[in-house]
Amino acid sequence: MARVKRGTLKNKRRKNILAQTKGYRFDRSTKERVAHEAIRHAGAHAYRHRKQKKREFRNLWTLRINAGAREQGMSYSKLIGTMKKAKVVLDRKVLSELAMNHPEVFARVLANLSK
């Protein structure tokens, strides 16, 4: 059987790894073993933070809705409770947008709920 030299594949793999760590500081951008570890850690953090981002945005929306509701004399929990009873299907993202950028529309939504 003929001998297979794998230098080109190894160089290609190394080049790909180092290309992914471009801009990293110190040995993480130049040494293959350290760069590989940096990529693994970066991937783990990115995966975790994609989940965390959703959580943080939902918390932000809740804060904005609560602030808008308190200006109208209602608490966040009572607002969400009455919305569920009235079967209003505005999500928190839209409600927070209304509370922050269009307070008069948000006030009308709350007024229609209490009827």
* CATH number of the CATH domain containing 70: 1.10.1900.20
**Structural domain contains residue 80:** yes
Q: How many structural domains is the chain composed of?
A: 1
3-state SS record for the chain: CCCCCCHHHHHHHHHHHHHHCCCCCHHHHCCHHHHHHHHHHHHHHHHHHHHHHHHHHHHHHHHHHHHHHHHCCCCHHHHHHHHHHCCCCCCHHHHHHHHHHCHHHHHHHHHHHCC
Q: What is the pLDDT of residues 93-105, one digit of tens each?
A: 999 999 999 999 9
pTM: 0.77
At residue 56 the predicted structure's pLDDT band, cuts being 50, 70 and 90, is very high
The pLDDT confidence band at residue 6, using thresholds 50, 70 and 90, is confident
Domain-embedded: residue 3: no
Q: Is residue 1 part of a domain?
A: no
User: Model confidence over 69-94: pLDDT tens digits?
Assistant: 999 999 999 999 999 999 989 999 99
**Average pLDDT in the 37-50 region?**
98
Question: In which domain, by residue range, is 16 found?
Answer: 8-113
